[in-house]
């Protein structure tokens, strides 16, 4: 789509990945003055500017109608007030018309003008009934708050001295309006230090009481509005009376009357206690982090109001502050929320932005916070009925080890998060389903809850692009918007028709459900990224069930294809379920093939085993684990990646062992598995440790001896001919080059011969210098993907040895397959079952040779629901803020570069208009 240039409403849309949802109609192109660099935005609803202020202002909900021209005031107009950080102004945009929407603040001067405010505006808030708007300015030496009466924001030719304002002692960052409630008898206090029922002292600006607007009509219960402002450099929040500021003489800038000052504490709650490690010591336990005792200086940043509590992020301390503002004149700090990271508990995790949800249908409230260091998202349950002091963890972190258990990590850090309650309801004329209700998949149910089920043709009902519920909208620094489910009202109707634990159903429901038929119960999972497509393979709809491009093939080391029915060759088979499953299948190409749940073989139409193909089973619990489509190799005694072109010092210990030293190899972090590590694991599994020696990884010397003409051979105890005969060359290496890894450390390996070395001295004699080497798995199959590589969960134990991690998160980070003895089917929980985040299988113990290899490709990776806020070819994008405009159901994204304001309709996930 062509770019219309600066100073235009962008006439076009970019569709999200949504089945059954269309893009919005093309908006009208209207030239306006460029408002490229925008910050936070507020909204007001105003009537005819020639009327009295009390008649002019309206609640936002009154602005639901559009008009042809900006001077048609038969209905009130909806206006956006967008801060312009680079110029210290506020642009006013008439959202009720497509004709000349930019409001000219100064008609006497050619060209549209903006409202001047202090430089570096950081926050803007409007009153609920549009009487006034307040702008916080961080202009050096002129920090303060400006009040913008609504009768002066349209065509009144205002100057900086036209506004009532007050000076702050330091730069503000965030600001919110709260209500000081009236007493039970209805009386109010005109100031925090006044008594309820005292007379109000009005300065009488311009000789008129409340000359810039009376905020008494703004509160639902007749209370008094207060501005709560964060002052980061001072480490606290200030409470300022909004009416007092608005009643000041225009052009004056006396100090703000800070009615209450609350310095924030930095009391860090204790970190969570890790799970106890097995007593055997077979794995590396998660670290126990003791409170550091460090002192922190709070630097308050973003704020979010949920009920009577204010949540404050902190760039200086690893806490999120909780303030009780039920009485703004007596703000009290409650115990803080911790920000400890399970992935890196020693890291000081600070935060920069917070958002809080409305109450869910089951009366929970959730807080989202952006980790200021790594850009991940933390989620807390802040419900009145309990809640959590640390970030919530996923119930099954092992399903998707690529995500931290207590964070949501996106492809690009989020700049802002907005949590919205959006009801994309199509009310049923018969049942009158118009109020929020969870979708009910019970086929025997009736009533409004059944109206939201996915239709048989997938054209209506519950769908990826239909947002009905509470959702977090993360605007990323890349310019994308990602949707995260918080409380999806349709979640119960999105999933398998027959539930099972294999499909991520933690508490499976018996019988057949009237659900969408998608493959996982976690299609919609609270606090996880929403899927952008139906997760189902259905002709004419979509093909998004994870599977294989084709059945696995087996090749010999020389590339010769081996027939699956060759009785003397290894076979790959799907592991079998431990619970009763009636729908055991694998998607291959464009077909769904049935697997025998008792054997793992393909099953024919008459129920017989089909031995013509190798098989595996896809993991369908959490679709988000299917990160990428990739090609896989499963190689017998395959080389571990990461050691190519590595050279190390090889030391003969003169006791039948060798030490290979290389501080750059990071053996533990590249997944090296020693004999001792395997023996400990076998003991932990209750198995015989005798196979540990054969299963241990081994070093293969890759170097060549000095060339035959080298003078080295003149004084060596061995000959070139002897070395060549014993070790072969790198193209046709012999077993004497193989050294079993008895123990592994991150910087060295303790080795011994695998049996083909006649004596210790010969090895060093034939390879006198540093040696190039490879590391291979011993008598095991190595699983490697061409996108994610070799998965493992080896870590460094307290004694420095390489051992697997005890963390449940890493349970499926596996890259080795032990051949399964016997002919019985291998179940999913068998020690010989291979299971990584993507699939599971077993390989039998038929004779295998080094570099024999299975090959296959996985397909249908997870696609998140996202929208490109800017065109794909637009590189200059800097989102600065995001706001939900509830009355129109739009997310408004501010851009600090060239994109101005972008409006996204959440009903069809499309860009409806853009002002830049």
pLDDT tens digits, 649-669? 999 999 999 999 999 999 999
Residue 529 has pLDDT above 50, yes or no: yes
Q: What is the pLDDT of residue 8?
A: 28
Whether residues 112 and 229 fall in one domain: yes
Mean pLDDT within 115-121: 95
Co-location of 621 and 709 in the same domain: no
Residue 24 is predicted with a pLDDT of: 41
Residue 51 has a pLDDT of 87
Question: Could you tell me what percent of the chain has a pLDDT over 70?
Answer: 94
Which tokens hold the place of 640?
């571990």
Of the ranges 291-295, 841-845, 894-898, which is most confident? 841-845
Choose the final residue of a domain: 749, 777, 805. 777
Quick one: which of 315, 316, 323, 307 has its CA closest to 370? 315
Q: Is the pLDDT of residue 134 over 70?
A: yes
Band (pLDDT 50/70/90 cuts) for residue 434 is: low
Query: Strand locations in 207-277, DSSP E?
Result: 224-231, 236-241, 258-263
Angle at 835 between CA 833 and CA 837, to 5 degrees: 175
Round the CA-based radius of gyration of the chain to a whole number and report it: 33
- What integer best gives the mean pLDDT of the chain? 91
Do 3 and 11 contact (CB within 8 A), yes or no? Answer: no
Q: Mean pLDDT across the stretch 550-577?
A: 97
Could you tell me the pLDDT band of residue 294, with boundaries at 50, 70 and 90?
A: confident
Q: What is the mean pLDDT of residues 503-518?
A: 93
For residue 21, how many other CB atoms are within 10 A of its CB? 17
pLDDT at 293 over 90: no
Tell me the average pLDDT across 905-915: 92
**Residue ranges making up the domain that contains 632:** 557-585+595-637+785-792+813-859
625 in the same domain as 656: no
Decide if 327 is inside a domain: no
pLDDT confidence tier of residue 234, bands split at 50, 70 and 90: very high
Average pLDDT over residues 455-467: 94
Q: Measured at the alpha carbon of residue 280, what is the angle toward residues 274 and 284, in degrees to the nearest 5?
A: 45
Residue showing tokens 């051992």: 803
More confident position, 171 or 155 = 171
Give the pLDDT of residue 27: 43
- Entry pTM: 0.92
pLDDT of residue 34: 66
pLDDT for 675? 98
Looking at the structure, do residues 734 and 840 belong to the same domain, yes or no? no
Integer Cα distance of 184 and 869 in angstroms? 48
d(CA 146, CA 143): 10
Q: What φ, ψ does residue 210 adopt, rounded to 5°? A: 50, 55
Residue 339 lies in a domain: no
On the question of pLDDT at 15 being above 90, the answer is no
How far apart are the C-alpha atoms of 406 and 736, rounded to whole Å?
48
Q: Which of 719, 751, 777 is the last residue of a domain?
A: 777
User: Considering only 5-9, 246-250, 564-568, which range has the smallest mean pLDDT?
Assistant: 5-9
Same domain flag for 629 and 684: no
Beta strands in 216-331 (DSSP E): 224-231, 236-241, 258-263, 300-306, 309-314, 319-324
Q: Would you say residue 85 lies in a domain?
A: yes
pLDDT for res 896 = 86
Of 263, 283, 301, the domain-final residue: 263
Domain count for the chain: 3
Strand runs labelled E in 653-780: 657-661, 698-701, 738-744, 748-753, 771-776
Q: Helix, strand, coil proportions of the chain in percent (round to 5)?
A: 10, 30, 60
Q: Which positions ≥6 away from 255 have C-beta within 8 Å?
A: 166, 167, 168, 169
What pLDDT is attached to residue 202?
61
Residue 109 lies in a domain: yes
Could you tell me which residues are beta bridge partners of residue 910? 905
Interval 821-839 mean pLDDT = 95
More confident call, 203 vs 542: 542
pLDDT digits (tens, 9 = 90+) for 690-726: 999 999 999 999 999 999 999 999 999 999 999 999 9
Q: How far apart are CA 527 and CA 360, in angstroms?
A: 13
Tell me the HSE value of 403 on the side-chain side, using a 13 A CA sphere.
27
* Residue 218: pLDDT over 60: yes
Lowest mean pLDDT among 98-102, 577-581, 597-601: 577-581
- Same-domain status, 657 and 692: yes
* Residue 227 in tokens: 């501005």
Q: Are residue 744 and residue 835 in the same domain, yes or no? A: no
pLDDT at 580: 76
pLDDT at 875: 63
Q: Are residues 625 and 712 in the same domain?
A: no
- Residue 96 domain-assigned? yes
Least confident window among 6-10, 516-520, 567-571: 6-10
* The two structure tokens encoding residue 331: 């703000």
Cβ 599 vs Cβ 626: under 8 Å? no
pLDDT at 425: 61
Above 90 in pLDDT, residue 5? no
CA distance 188 to 195: 8
Task: Estimate to the nearest angstrom the gap between the alpha carbon of 54 and the chain centroid.
Answer: 45
The percentage of the chain sitting over the pLDDT mark of 90, rounded to a whole number, equals 80
Host H or E run for residue 503 = none
The answer for residues whose C-beta is within 8 angstroms of residue 263's C-beta and 6 or more apart is 234, 235, 236, 298
Q: Are residues 666 and 608 in the same domain?
A: no
pLDDT value of position 204 = 59
Q: Based on the domain organization, do 666 and 615 belong to the same domain?
A: no
Q: What pLDDT, on the 0 to 100 scale, is given for residue 707?
A: 96
For residues 196 and 98, membership in a common domain is answered with yes
Q: How far apart are CA 611 and CA 468, in angstroms?
A: 47
Taking CA atoms, 146 is separated from 226, 665, 673, 801, in Å, by 14, 60, 65, 63
CB atoms within 10 A of CB 186: 11
Q: Quick one: pLDDT at residue 111?
A: 66
Per-residue confidence band for 35, with pLDDT thresholds at 50, 70 and 90: confident
- In this structure, the answer to whether residues 173 and 244 fall within a common structural domain is yes
798 falls within a domain: no
pLDDT at residue 9 tops 50? no
Residue 25 is predicted with a pLDDT of 42
């Amino acid at each position: 789509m062509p770019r219309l240039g600066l100073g235009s409403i962008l006439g076009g849309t970019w569709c999200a990945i949504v089945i059954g949802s269309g893009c919005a109609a093309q908006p009208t192109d209207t030239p306006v003055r460029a408002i490229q660099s925008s910050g936070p935005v507020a909204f007001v609803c105003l009537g005819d500017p020639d009327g009295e202020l009390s008649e002019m202002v309206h609640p936002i909900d009154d602005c639901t109608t559009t008009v042809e021209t900006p001077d048609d005031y038969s209905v009130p107009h909806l206006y956006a007030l967008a801060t312009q950080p680079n110029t210290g102004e506020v642009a006013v945009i008439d959202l009720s018309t497509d004709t000349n929407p930019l409001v000219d603040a100064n008609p006497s001067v050619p060209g549209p003008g903006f409202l001047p405010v202090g430089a570096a505006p950081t926050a803007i808030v409007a009153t609920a009934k549009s009487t006034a708007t307040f702008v916080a300015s961080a202009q050096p030496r002129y920090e303060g708050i400006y009040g913008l009466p609504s009768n002066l924001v349209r065509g009144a030719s205002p100057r900086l001295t036209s506004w009532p304002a007050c000076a702050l002692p330091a730069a503000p960052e965030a600001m919110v309006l709260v209500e000081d409630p009236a007493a039970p008898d209805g009386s109010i206090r005109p100031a925090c230090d006044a008594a309820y029922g005292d007379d109000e002292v009005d300065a009488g600006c311009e000789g008129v009481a409340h000359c810039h607007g009376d905020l008494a009509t703004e509160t639902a219960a007749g209370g008094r509005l207060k501005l709560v402002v964060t002052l980061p450099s001072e480490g606290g929040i200030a409470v300022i009376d909004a009416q007092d500021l608005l009643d000041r003489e225009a052009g004056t800038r006396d100090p703000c009357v800070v009615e209450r000052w609350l310095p924030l504490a930095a009391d860090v709650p204790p970190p969570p206690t890790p799970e106890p490690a097995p007593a055997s010591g077979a794995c590396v336990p998660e670290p126990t982090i003791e409170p550091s005792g460090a002192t922190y200086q709070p630097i308050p940043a973003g704020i979010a109001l949920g009920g009577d509590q204010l949540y404050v992020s902190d760039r200086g301390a690893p806490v999120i502050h909780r303030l009780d503002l039920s009485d703004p004149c007596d703000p009290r700090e409650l115990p803080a929320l911790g920000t400890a990271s399970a992935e890196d508990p020693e890291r000081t995790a600070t935060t920069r932005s917070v958002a809080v949800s409305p109450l869910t249908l089951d009366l929970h409230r959730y807080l989202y916070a952006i980790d200021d260091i790594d850009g991940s998202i933390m989620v807390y349950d802040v419900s009145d009925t309990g809640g959590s002091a640390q970030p919530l963890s996923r119930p099954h972190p092992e399903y998707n080890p690529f995500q931290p258990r207590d964070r949501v990590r996106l492809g690009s850090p989020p700049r802002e998060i907005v949590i919205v309650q959006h009801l994309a309801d199509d009310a049923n004329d018969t049942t009158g389903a118009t109020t929020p209700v969870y979708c009910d998949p019970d086929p025997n149910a009736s009533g409004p809850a059944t109206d939201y089920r996915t239709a048989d043709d997938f054209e209506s009902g519950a769908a990826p692009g239909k947002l009905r519920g509470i959702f977090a909208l993360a605007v990323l620094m890349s310019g994308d918007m990602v949707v995260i489910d918080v409380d999806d009202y349709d979640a119960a109707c999105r999933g398998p028709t027959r539930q099972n634990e294999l499909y991520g159903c933690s508490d499976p429901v018996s019988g057949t459900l009237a659900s969408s038929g998608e493959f996982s119960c976690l299609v919609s999972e609270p606090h996880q990224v929403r899927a952008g497509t139906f997760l189902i393979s259905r002709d004419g709809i979509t093909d998004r069930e994870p599977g294989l491009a084709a059945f696995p093939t087996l090749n010999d080391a020389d590339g010769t294809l081996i027939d699956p029915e060759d009785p003397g060759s290894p076979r790959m088979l799907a592991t079998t379920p431990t619970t009763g499953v009636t729908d055991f299948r694998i998607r291959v190409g464009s077909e769904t093939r049935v697997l025998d749940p008792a054997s793992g073989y393909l099953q024919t139409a008459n129920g017989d085993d089909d031995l013509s193909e190798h098989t595996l089973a896809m993991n369908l619990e959490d679709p988000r684990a299917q990160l990428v489509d990739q090609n896989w190799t499963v190689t017998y005694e395959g080389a571990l990646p990461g050691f190519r072109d590595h050279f190390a010092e090889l030391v003969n210990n003169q006791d039948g062992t060798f030490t290979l030293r290389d501080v750059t190899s990071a053996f533990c972090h590249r997944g090296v598995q020693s004999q001792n590590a395997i023996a400990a694991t076998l003991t932990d599994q209750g198995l015989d440790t005798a196979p540990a020696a054969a299963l241990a990884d081994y070093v293969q010397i890759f170097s060549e001896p000095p060339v035959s003409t080298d003078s080295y051979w003149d004084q060596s105890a061995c000959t070139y001919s002897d070395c060549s005969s014993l070790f072969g060359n790198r193209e046709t290496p012999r077993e004497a080059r193989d050294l079993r890894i008895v123990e592994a450390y991150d910087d060295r390996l303790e080795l011994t011969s695998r049996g083909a070395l006649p004596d210790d001295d010969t090895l060093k004699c034939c390879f006198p210098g540093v040696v190039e080497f490879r590391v291979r798995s011993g008598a095991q199959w190595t699983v490697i993907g061409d996108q994610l590589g070799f998965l493992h969960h080896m870590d460094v134990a307290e004694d420095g040895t390489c051992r697997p991690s005890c963390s449940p998160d890493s349970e499926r980070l596996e890259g080795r397959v032990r051949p399964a003895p016997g002919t019985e089917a291998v179940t999913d929980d068998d020690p010989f079952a291979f299971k990584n985040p993507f699939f599971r299988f077993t390989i039998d113990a038929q004779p295998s040779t080094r570099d024999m290899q299975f090959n296959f490709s996985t397909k249908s990776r997870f696609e998140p629901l996202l929208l490109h806020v800017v065109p794909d070819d637009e590189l200059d994008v800097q989102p600065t803020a995001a706001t939900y405009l509830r009355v129109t159901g739009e997310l408004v994204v501010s851009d600090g570069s060239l994109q101005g304001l972008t409006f996204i309709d959440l009903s069809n996930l499309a860009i409806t208009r853009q002002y830049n």
